[in-house]
Amino acid sequence: MKNPKNFLLALIAIFIFSGCEEVPNPGCIKAKVIGYQSCYNVNIVQILSGPVKGRELDWYEQKYDNVVQFTGAVIPKDEIIYINYSLYGTDEKPEYQSQICPSNTFPVPVPYVKLNDYSTIKCP
């Protein structure tokens, strides 16, 4: 090889111009956090806009419609968030489903989504 610099530049150019295609965003929803259930480690959110359909839920004496849940760290109540999500496969289950909790807690009867990322500003 006469000039390793030219070879290296050509290799870099190939990577830059061929590039990797960006993975399409599987989905983004705008939601309002309505609560957190610590035993199951789930955030409960009301969908404000987006393609996911949730269920109606009575949560601490208030009725909410279009509610879903996802596992993860506590996000403050009433926070408006943008969630990059994907759906669980038919054979997948969220981690919390095998938890043993006190008798006064129960799994929240709403659909769950897999949280990929979230933001308080815009869709991640």
Alpha-carbon span 65 to 26, nearest angstrom? 23
Is residue 7 helix, strand or coil? helix
CA distances from 68 to 56, 80, 84, 92, 114 (A): 9, 14, 13, 17, 10
Alpha-carbon span 75 to 43, nearest angstrom? 7
- The band of 22, judged by pLDDT with boundaries at 50, 70 and 90, is very low
| pLDDT at 94 exceeding the cut of 80 | no
- The band of 15, judged by pLDDT with boundaries at 50, 70 and 90, is low
The per-residue pLDDT for range 47-87, each reduced to its tens digit, is: 999 888 899 999 999 999 999 999 888 999 999 999 998 88
* Short-list 87, 93, 31, 15, CA closest to 64: 31
Which pLDDT belongs to residue 102?
A: 82
Q: Taking residues 38-50, report their average pLDDT.
A: 91
- The band of 114, judged by pLDDT with boundaries at 50, 70 and 90, is confident
